[in-house]
Chain A
Amino acid sequence: MTESALSQLREQLSGEVPEAVGRLGEAELRDLAHAIRDARHREGKALAAAGERALERVPRLLRGPIRKVVG
């Protein structure tokens, strides 16, 4: 069971988990993996929303060039 929590954390960190961290209990490893995932999701959503709001603040003339850059 601990292995699956460790895998989750490994996936969130995109690589090996520091050795000492890997010795934490399953509940802790799972909590840490969830915390990383939640932080990334929260930030991704905030970024998308801010991008939309920013475009509304840009003068109309510049919206074309900005859209070209942002893609």
Chain B
Amino acid sequence: MSRAAETLQAHTEVMKVARLLQRQPESLHYLESLGVEDLRELRDRLTETVFDAHTGSLRRLAAASRVLPVGLSASMGESVFGPLLSARLTGLLDPGRAAEMASRLPAPFLADVAVEMDPRRASDLIARIPADQIAQITAELMTRGEYVTMGRFVGHLSDEAISAALAAMDDRSLLGVVFVLEDKDGLPDLVSLLPDARVAGVIQAAADHDLWVEALDLLDHLTPQQRDDMVAATLLLEPDALDSIVAAVIAHELWEEVLPIAEHDATVQAALAARVPALPARQRRAIAKRARKTGGLERLGVFGEALAGA
């Protein structure tokens, strides 16, 4: 992971912690000094602490809800308990009954609940929500820019539900969601569910919103074939967009991540080669090592020649 990606991921983790503790992320800025893995460990501990703090009362409420008609339980979830307490209850309800309750609730409220949930505690319930309802909730979360929430649910959805969610999401949001995924090993499978046209759309979104840290991070986690498709889409962009990639590489030190693109474009190679002498020797050696490992310096034209001296 590039340093820029790591910084953004750490910021994302702090946002998740802040949400758990119902604090403004800025008030917990000191946590950003921790690494991403340490922040995840802290968040796991906090999740246990917060979700288990009132388990006894919540279990009794979940049991009591079984006495009531489903419609009344659902309506009380929305009007009495609200999103936060409903989220705490979701993992304690019978999954079939909870899915039936969800079917009677509006997407905006379910989106509110999703924001507060720990999907790991309600996997059985999430799997029972129909794909079209997942799409409605996704559309709602997307309008709120809730990439973190959407990302947390990905590993708990069926392929059908993921496809429906992806279809409900615009390309910019898609890029935002895949960037915050915790388990990126599943990215090739997720991308394989996308129609071909979406790949070009995602790249265009990166160009339009200057999201090259996110796009190059995605590129770094794909299969060789998927990477080739994405690079091909990148090379079709306007020259200005390629300039913005070079600028992002320099600003965020994405040298290793940009190699798959650089090997296909002489202009990008020349722009990057011009910056190589200014890089510290150690960094030049690291980039050269990665380039040799992923296809050889000679494929990088003048950029490769500049690195060869490293």
A interface with B by C-beta (< 8 Å) = 12-15, 18-21, 24-25, 28, 31-32, 35-36, 38-40, 42-44, 46-48, 50-51, 53-54, 57-58, 62, 65-66, 69-71
* Chain B residues within 8 Å of chain A by Cβ, number: 38
If A35-B28, A58-B68, A62-B67 touch, whether A43 touches B42 (CB-CB below 8 Å) is no
The dominant DSSP class at the B interface is helix
Q: Which of B50, B57, B67, B72 contacts A51 (CB 8 A)?
A: B57
Bound form: Cα–Cα A54–B57 in Å: 13
Beta-carbon contact of B84 and A46 below 8 Å? yes
Chain A residues in 8 Å Cβ range of B197: none
Beta-carbon contact of B53 and A40 below 8 Å? yes
Beta-carbon contact of A28 and B30 below 8 Å? yes
What are 29 A-B interface contacts by the 8 Å CB criterion? A12-B49, A13-B46, A15-B45, A18-B38, A18-B41, A19-B38, A20-B34, A20-B35, A21-B42, A25-B30, A28-B31, A32-B28, A39-B20, A39-B21, A40-B49, A43-B50, A43-B54, A44-B57, A46-B82, A46-B85, A47-B85, A48-B57, A57-B80, A66-B64, A69-B60, A70-B60, A70-B63, A70-B64, A71-B60
Beta-carbon contact of B21 and A57 below 8 Å? no
Is B105 part of the contact surface with A, judged by Cβ < 8 Å?
no
Chain B residues in 8 Å Cβ range of A35: 21, 23, 28
Chain B residues in 8 Å Cβ range of A47: 54, 57-58, 61, 85
Bound form: Cα–Cα A53–B85 in Å: 13
Shortest A30–chain B CB gap in Å is 11
Q: Which B residues, 194 to 240, have Cβ-Cβ distances below 8 Å to chain A?
A: none
What are the 7 A-B residue pairs with the smallest beta carbon separation, nearest first?
A20-B38, A40-B53, A69-B64, A35-B21, A28-B30, A18-B41, A39-B21
Bound form: Cα–Cα A31–B26 in Å: 13
Beta-carbon contact of A50 and B22 below 8 Å? no
**Per-position binary interface string of chain B over residues 73-102, scored 1 when its CB falls under 8 Å from any chain A CB and 0 otherwise:** 000100111101100100000000000000
Chain B residues in 8 Å Cβ range of A28: 30-31
Count of A-B residue pairs with CB < 8 Å: 100
Bound form: Cα–Cα A38–B33 in Å: 23
Beta-carbon contact of A54 and B50 below 8 Å? no
Beta-carbon contact of B49 and A42 below 8 Å? no
Bound form: Cα–Cα A36–B21 in Å: 6
Q: Nearest A residue to B67 by beta-carbon distance?
A: A65
Bound form: Cα–Cα A20–B32 in Å: 12
Bound form: Cα–Cα A53–B76 in Å: 9
Shortest A70–chain B CB gap in Å is 5
Q: Nearest A residue to B63 by beta-carbon distance?
A: A69
Beta-carbon contact of B54 and A50 below 8 Å? no
If A18-B38, A20-B34 touch, whether A53 touches B80 (CB-CB below 8 Å) is yes
Bound form: Cα–Cα A42–B85 in Å: 11
Beta-carbon contact of A40 and B57 below 8 Å? no
